[in-house]
A and B are shown apart, each in its own frame.
Chain A
């Protein structure tokens, strides 16, 4: 069982690396992340034995990732909609501590 999962992970690694060299613009990041999520789910489900664990353990596992999504989603709401300009500061900050 471990061998099968290991081979699947290697297949996904090969896939994501080759896909990186295909010019797809903004879709590249989405694909790379989708494959990364797939690999992570494989590791979580089989290696970390979520497959056989109780619902409570699965809830604990999912909670961390869900709360991370909250942070990413709401900061995205700010950064993607910010209109005004951002440029390097005219005078670089002095190096004094």
Chain B
């Protein structure tokens, strides 16, 4: 850190693409600004009051000039808009098989939960060269997960899941910031993103994975919150079976058919009366307020672990 940083470090291929766009913008705007300043100084010097330069009569019809510089700036701007948007869209549809990590933003800390059950506070370990999808929720105010080295940022609005996809290519340690003002220690709500070689990452997972996978913790919650009372075969109340639910289409009582992704499962836990499965009456109580964000994530992982193939009967 002895040298003064002038340009942010590039930790991913996306960062390099973005820097290329930034330099393109810099070149275009630099040229325009340079041209404007050059003319300003030239005219100021040439036509200053004392100079004897011959002044031709000012033109009254100016619309050729106007049309010229209007269309020129319009075309350049449209080009820049398309270029910026095309890069932005790649952020929006992450590949399906990306590693999913649940991040919970709470006033002045980031809590991360890996599928294997590993937990981290204000830190995040990810494998290099692999697509990662952060599914983020906030428990109080709006925060924003920001990694300058990856050039990505996503606000985390309470009441909703926000997802952020990236692929870190260069192993190393990069800073994490909270970019949306969230109160007194907004400046201290950050940490380090450690990008590791896949082998080293697997080793780290083993050393950290003390308390069982997310799915196992979900299974424990599934029982002691009484979900198994209805949802397991032979339950007291008729409730839709959860085996083979994840990823498959679910017919709903009002005729719609939606795919059971993790948002649907989270929806059904917290807002059961919203999308009731066809053929069942809406008797399930809502767990909003009893379960916090981490428990819901575990239950979602557990339901996913029940397999998305044909219903396998007994759960693991």
Contacts and interface: CB of A to CB of B under 8 A. Distances in A.
Given A84-B161, A84-B163, A90 B263 contact: no
B140 A90 contact: no
A92 B158 CA distance: 10
A97 to B, nearest CB: 14
Contacts of A84: 160-163, 263
B162 A90 contact: no
Interface in A41-97: 84-93
A86 B292 contact: no
Interface string B280-299: 00000000110111001000
Interface stretch (B190-198, B203-211, B265-273, B304-312): B265-273
A90 B267 contact: no
Most buried by B among A86, A88, A89: A89
Contacts of B137: 90
Nearest to B291: A90
Contacts of A86: 159-160
Given A90-B288, A90-B293, A90-B296, A85 B161 contact: yes
Contacts of B159: 86-89
Name B's interface SS.
mixed
Nearest to B287: A90
B139 interface: yes
Given A84-B263, A85-B266, A85-B267, A91 B139 contact: yes
Contacts of B139: 89-91
Interface in B21-80: none
Most buried by B among A84, A88, A90, A93: A90
B244 to A, nearest CB: 22
A86 to B, nearest CB: 5
A5 to B, nearest CB: 43
Contacts of A91: 139, 289, 292-293
Contacts of B163: 84
Contacts of A93: 140, 158
A90 B161 contact: no
Nearest to B293: A90
B160 A85 contact: yes
A86 B267 CA distance: 8
Contacts of A92: 288-289
B268 to A, nearest CB: 10
A87 B270 contact: yes
Interface of B: 137, 139-140, 158-163, 263-264, 266-267, 270-271, 288-289, 291-293, 296
Interface of A: 84-93
18 contacts: A84-B161, A84-B263, A85-B160, A85-B161, A85-B266, A85-B267, A87-B159, A87-B160, A87-B267, A87-B271, A89-B159, A90-B137, A90-B139, A90-B270, A90-B288, A90-B291, A90-B296, A93-B158
Given A90-B293, A92-B289, 14 more contacts: A84-B162, A85-B160, A85-B263, A85-B267, A86-B159, A87-B159, A87-B266, A88-B159, A89-B158, A89-B159, A90-B270, A90-B289, A93-B140, A93-B158
Closest 3 CB pairs of A and B: A85-B263, A89-B159, A87-B270
